């Protein structure tokens, strides 16, 4: 059985990296908070939003399987404007999102290990240490180490989450507070804005579709062969639908353990992460502490690590594609230097964000708002570009999306565009 499991894991790669990037704030914080605040009201919205966004996440690894190149080559072939838009959106969000996920990771680590950190060193010093640890892993090993580390992290995350959910269902199938009733109102601004953020971040920012494609090309380079379309799609679906199930598991855990509690979930992600572990321990007993703590820490460290790799890697690919005018020839030495340079820039920029959060009142809220707005605006734009690329000249006509997938894609782009406009309207008219 172990040999069979090892064989299965060896066939997976980029799909697990996708899972590592997706299962972060959207799952640990947003999904659990949705269950803690509204019980099961949002449960069916998770598979629904995954289905709406499915084509655009699929197009990334599918393009690589069909062409042998990452989808950023398709962006360049579509027009320099497409690649430029992606680069601009990436640069705008890179350090902001990296800072947000790293701070949540450091908060969980401090709480889990019981570290006594002086207030004057919070949140920047612990976050900087985790950021540097992730950067060292990537600087030394790059994709090969990332691939191995993420397989271990995702296995730990999946097992601990399943064990935790099963245990809670056995102990309290009706929930820890069975008499509480969910209240959600479309007339309450807080409820609407949370719903918008929940759907917008689920399963991940749309640029993860590009990350997946770039990771797929890198995996092909490391393996010395191009993965077949069948294998690439299996790898993608394991990661995509696996993260959907994990999101539903986190929501169920929040609903069963935290819903109806006297302590309302904090609006601050880093604070809520501490509440998460404490509430599970208080409700289930001290035995649950290591289980929930490891699941939470594995969740957020995976996101920190994969984001810190993906932003420099996709920018490096964009630079090389632009410089070489779309030439797909290998450029390993140049790529490695560019990757490490951008990685260093990402670390320095993220540390700068940490210091701003520490020294400027209200900066954290503003940074999260900016990152969220950029992510919402970019989602339909990247989805549209992915759609155009898959119907472009670089894809043979027989391999282009069929009528159903085309209709599905147009519906998804329309929904995401309306959704983004609605979110911006909510922000502006607050």
CA distances from 255 to 237, 246, 384 (A): 27, 14, 35
Query: Cα angle vertex 361, ends 304, 113, to 5°?
Result: 40
Residue 262 DSSP label: S
CA distance 297 to 300: 5
Higher pLDDT, 258 or 316: 316
- Which CATH number does the domain housing residue 16 bear? 1.20.1740.10
Nearest to 296 by CA among 113, 109, 17: 109
Chain-centre distance for alpha carbon 246: 12
- Residue 8 scores a pLDDT above 70: no
403: exposed, middle or buried (Cβ count in 10 Å: 0-12, 13-18, 19+): exposed
Over residues 199-245, the pLDDT tens digits come to 888 888 899 999 999 999 988 988 888 889 999 999 999 999 999 99
Q: pLDDT value at position 165?
A: 86
Mapped onto helix, strand or coil, the DSSP state of residue 393 is: coil
CA distance 149 to 271: 27
Q: Which of 137-146, 252-261, 400-409 has the lowest mean pLDDT?
A: 137-146
Q: pLDDT value at position 11?
A: 59
- Residue 132 scores a pLDDT above 80: yes
CA distance 218 to 343: 17
Nearest to 289 by CA among 297, 273, 298, 278: 278
Residue 58 DSSP label: H
Provide DSSP, 201-259: HSS--TTHHHHHHHHHHHHHHHHTSPPPHHHHHHHHHHHHHHHHHHHHHHHHHIIIIIT
> Per the structure block, which two tokens stand in for 232?
């690439």
Rg (CA), the chain: 21
Q: pLDDT value at position 428?
A: 83
Over residues 12-68, the pLDDT tens digits come to 678 888 888 888 777 878 898 899 889 999 999 999 999 999 999 999 999 999 999
> Per the structure block, which two tokens stand in for 10?
């060896």
Name residues whose C-beta falls within 8 Å of residue 334's C-beta, 6 or more positions apart in sequence: 320
In the Cβ-directed half-sphere of 258, how many Cα atoms lie within 13 Å? Answer: 30
Over residues 392-407, the pLDDT tens digits come to 999 999 999 999 999 9
Q: pLDDT value at position 1?
A: 46
pLDDT-derived band at 73, boundaries 50, 70, 90: very high
Higher pLDDT, 302 or 413: 413
- The residue range of the domain holding 50 is 2-428
Over residues 89-110, the pLDDT tens digits come to 999 889 989 998 898 888 888 8
pLDDT-derived band at 344, boundaries 50, 70, 90: very high
Provide DSSP, 228-239: PHHHHHHHHHHH
Q: What percent of the chain lies above the pLDDT cut of 70?
A: 91
Nearest to 165 by CA among 285, 291, 266: 291
Residue 265 DSSP label: P
Q: What percent of the chain lies above the pLDDT cut of 90?
A: 41
- Residue 5 scores a pLDDT above 60: no
Q: pLDDT value at position 216?
A: 93
Count of the separate structural domains present in the chain: 1
Q: Which residues of 238-267 are buried (b: 16+ CB within 10 A; e: fewer)?
A: bbbbbbbebbbbbbbbbbbbbbbbeeebee
- Residue 121 scores a pLDDT above 80: no
C-beta of residue 427 within 8 angstroms of C-beta of residue 373 = yes
Over residues 270-321, the pLDDT tens digits come to 677 677 777 777 767 787 788 778 888 887 888 898 899 999 999 999 999 9
pLDDT-derived band at 2, boundaries 50, 70, 90: very low
pLDDT-derived band at 328, boundaries 50, 70, 90: low
């Amino acid at each position: 059985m172990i040999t069979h499991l090892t064989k299965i894991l060896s066939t997976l790669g980029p799909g697990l990296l996708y899972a590592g990037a997706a299962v972060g704030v959207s799952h640990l914080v947003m999904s659990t908070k949705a269950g803690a605040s509204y019980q099961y009201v949002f449960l069916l919205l998770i598979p629904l939003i995954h289905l709406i966004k499915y084509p655009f996440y699929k197009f990334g690894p599918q393009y690589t399987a069909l062409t042998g190149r990452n989808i950023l080559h398709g962006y360049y072939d579509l027009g320099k404007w497409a690649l430029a838009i992606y680069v601009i959106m990436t640069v705008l969000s890179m350090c902001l999102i990296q800072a947000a996920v790293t701070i949540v990771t450091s908060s969980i680590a401090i709480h889990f290990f019981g570290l006594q950190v002086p207030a004057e060193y919070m949140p920047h010093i612990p976050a900087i240490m985790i950021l540097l640890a992730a950067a060292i892993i990537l600087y030394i090993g790059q994709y090969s180490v990332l691939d191995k580390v993420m397989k271990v992290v995702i296995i730990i995350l999946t097992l601990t989450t399943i064990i935790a959910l099963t245990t809670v269902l056995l102990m309290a199938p009706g929930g820890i507070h069975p008499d509480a009733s969910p209240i959600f109102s479309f007339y309450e601004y807080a409820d609407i804005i949370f719903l918008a953020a929940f759907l917008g971040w689920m399963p991940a920012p749309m640029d993860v579709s590009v990350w997946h494609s770039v990771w797929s090309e890198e995996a092909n380079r490391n393996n010395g062969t191009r993965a077949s379309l069948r294998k690439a799609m299996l790898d993608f679906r394991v990661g995509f639908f696996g993260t959907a199930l994990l999101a539903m598991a986190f929501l169920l855990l929040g609903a069963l353990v935290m819903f109806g509690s006297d302590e309302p979930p904090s609006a601050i992600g880093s604070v809520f992460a501490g509440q998460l572990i404490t509430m599970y321990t208080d409700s289930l007993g001290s035995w649950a502490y290591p289980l929930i703590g490891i699941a939470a820490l594995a969740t957020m460290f995976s996101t920190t690590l994969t984001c810190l790799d993906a932003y420099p890697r996709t920018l490096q690919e964009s630079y090389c594609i632009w410089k070489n005018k779309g030439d797909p020839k290998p450029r390993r030495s140049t790529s490695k230097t560019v990757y490490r340079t951008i990685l260093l820039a990402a670390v320095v920029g993220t540390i700068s964000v940490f210091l701003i959060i520490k020294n400027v009142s209200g900066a954290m809220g503003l940074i999260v708002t900016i990152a969220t707005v950029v992510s919402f605006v970019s989602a339909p734009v990247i989805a549209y570009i992915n759609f155009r690329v898959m119907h472009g000249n670089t894809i043979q006509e027989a391999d282009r999306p069929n009528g159903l997938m085309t209709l599905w894609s147009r519906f998804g782009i329309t929904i995401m565009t309306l959704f983004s406009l609605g979110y911006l309207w909510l922000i502006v008219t607050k």
